[in-house]
Homo-oligomer: A and B are copies of this chain.
Amino acid sequence: MRRSDLFATVSKESVSDADCRSEELAIKAGLIHSYGSGTFGYTHLGKKVLDNIEEVIRDEIDEVAQEVRMNLLQTSKLWKESGRWKDFEGEEFFHFKNRDDKDFCLAATHEEAVVGMARKFVRSYRDLDFTVYQIGRKFRDDHARKGLLRAKEFTMKDAYSFHRNEDKLDRKFEEMMEVYRRIFDRIGLEYSVVGADNGSMGGDTSREFIAEAEVGSDTYMKCRGCEFGTKNLEASECRECGSELEKVNGIEVGHCFKLGTRYSSSMNLDFTTEEGENKSVVMGCYGIGVSRLISAIIEQSNDDQGITWNREVAAFDTAVVLASEEEKACNKAEKIYQDLSEEEEILLYEGEMSIGEKFAEADLIGVNRKVIVGNNFLENGVIEVEDRTGHTELVKEVAK
C-alpha cells in the first residue's frame, strides 16, 4: 500500500489525554480512534493489527475447536434460565427495553447463548465431546480507562467445550492451555500462568494468563524461574520450580475455566449416557482478550521511537522508503515495492513527507524492516536494509 493512499490518523503531536503508554502509542500511531467512553474505532492500520492477532488465534485454535458466531443482542430468556438476569441490576451489563417493552441485554459473555445453541444439538453421548469458539464483540458498562485495556466495547475470543465427564474436560483443558501458550508465544507476549484462586497448580478449576505490565490492574507473584505465578501475595517461592517470586502488576489476557455443570444443569443441557442415564453435560470455557492484547503487546514492546511488534503482529512488516527525488531512485523503489508486494503487503513511502518524517512514522507504527533507496543507491547501487534496532545491511538486491 502506498502511504499516500493509507487512511490512518498518524499524529505528529503528542496525545494529551491518554492515560498509559499503550493508549498514547495506539492513538498517536493512528491504529485506533477514540469515540470517548471506552468505545473505539479501528483505522485500516489498527484493523490490520487486530486481524493479524485474530489470524494467529484462528490458526492455532482451529486445530481443536470449530468457529461459530453468536448474537450480541440478547433477550432475557436464557439469562433468566441460568439465574443471572437478576445479577444485572446495578452491574456492568448493558440492559434495556425495546420499543415493545421487551427486555434485552448486550452480551458481556456467551455462556447462556452457547448452551441455548448446544442443547438443540446434544442428545446422546455420541454427540459429545466438542468445542466451539467465536471471535467477536463483548460489551461491559465499565468505567473506561487505559484505552483498549478497559473499554465498554471490546473483542474477545471465547471458546466453550462440552464433555461426557470431568476426565474429558481435564484433557481438553490441558490441550487448550497448550494452544494458549502457542498463541501468546507467536504474538511475542511474555506471560505467567497463574492459578486464579489458591495459587496451587494442582486441581485448579481456573488459570489465568497474565502479561506483566506496570499499568496492569492485576497484582500477582511472578516466578523468576518458570512460567508459573500465583495470586497469593504471601507466597515467596514458586510451587512448581522453587524459584523466587516477585510482586508485579499485570494484564489478564487469557482465562481457562472449568465450568463443570454450572450452566448445563440450570439450563437443562443434558445427554443420555451409554448406559441410558440422563446426565448434565460437563463444560469448560476459555477466553482471550483480543483487543486488549494490542495494548498488552504495546506495553511490553515499545521504545522511544514507538511500537516494536513482531512479524506476526505488525501491520506492515516491511516498508520501502524512497529517500531521494531522483527518477532513478523512484523507479528502483517502485520496482522493489512491486516485487516484495508479491509475497506480502508492503508500505511504500514515496513523496510528500520528508525523509525524517518517513523514518519516524515507520518506527512509530512498528515497521520491522525499512528498505531505503536513496543516495547510497544512486552513488553505489546499494540499498540499505535497516531493522527496527537501527542495524543496517547494505545489499544489491532485497530478498523477499
Contact = CB atoms under 8 A, between A and B. Distances in A.
A340 interface: no
A74 B104 contact: no
Contacts of A198: none
Q: How many copies does the complex hold?
A: 2
Given A35-B71, A75-B36, A41 B117 contact: yes
Contacts of A104: 94
B126 A71 contact: no
A33 B44 CA distance: 32
A397 interface: no
Interface string A24-49: 00000000010111011111101100
A281 B57 CA distance: 39
Interface residues of A, number: 58
Contacts of A47: 67-69
Contacts of A220: none
A20 interface: no
A130 interface: yes
Nearest to A67: B47
Nearest to A106: B73
B73 A152 contact: yes
A139 interface: yes
A120 interface: yes
Nearest to A40: B71
A346 interface: no
Contacts of A66: 5-7, 44
A50 B70 CA distance: 13
A9 to B, nearest CB: 5
A8 interface: yes
A73 B39 contact: yes
A99 interface: yes
A113 interface: yes
A2 to B, nearest CB: 11
Contacts of A92: 99
Contacts of A33: 116-117, 120
A44 B68 contact: yes
Main secondary structure of the interface of A (DSSP, over half): mixed
A98 interface: yes
Contacts of A95: 96
Nearest to A91: B99
A69 B100 CA distance: 30
A95 B137 CA distance: 18
A6 B95 CA distance: 34
Interface in A332-356: 352
A74 B42 contact: no
A87 to B, nearest CB: 13
A141 B116 CA distance: 22
A343 to B, nearest CB: 17
Contacts of A50: 69
A102 interface: yes
Contacts of A8: 121
Contact of A39 (B37, B75, B100, B137): B75
Q: Which 4 pairs from chain A and chain B are nearest by CB?
A: A96-B96, A44-B66, A42-B69, A39-B71
Interface of A: 4-9, 33, 35-37, 39-44, 46-47, 50, 66-75, 77-78, 90, 92, 94-100, 102, 104, 106, 113, 116-118, 120-121, 126, 130, 132, 137, 139, 141, 152-153, 352
Given A50-B69, A95-B96, 12 more contacts: A5-B130, A7-B118, A35-B75, A35-B113, A39-B73, A41-B113, A41-B117, A72-B139, A94-B96, A96-B96, A98-B141, A99-B141
10 contacts: A5-B66, A6-B66, A7-B118, A35-B116, A37-B102, A41-B68, A46-B69, A50-B69, A71-B153, A72-B72
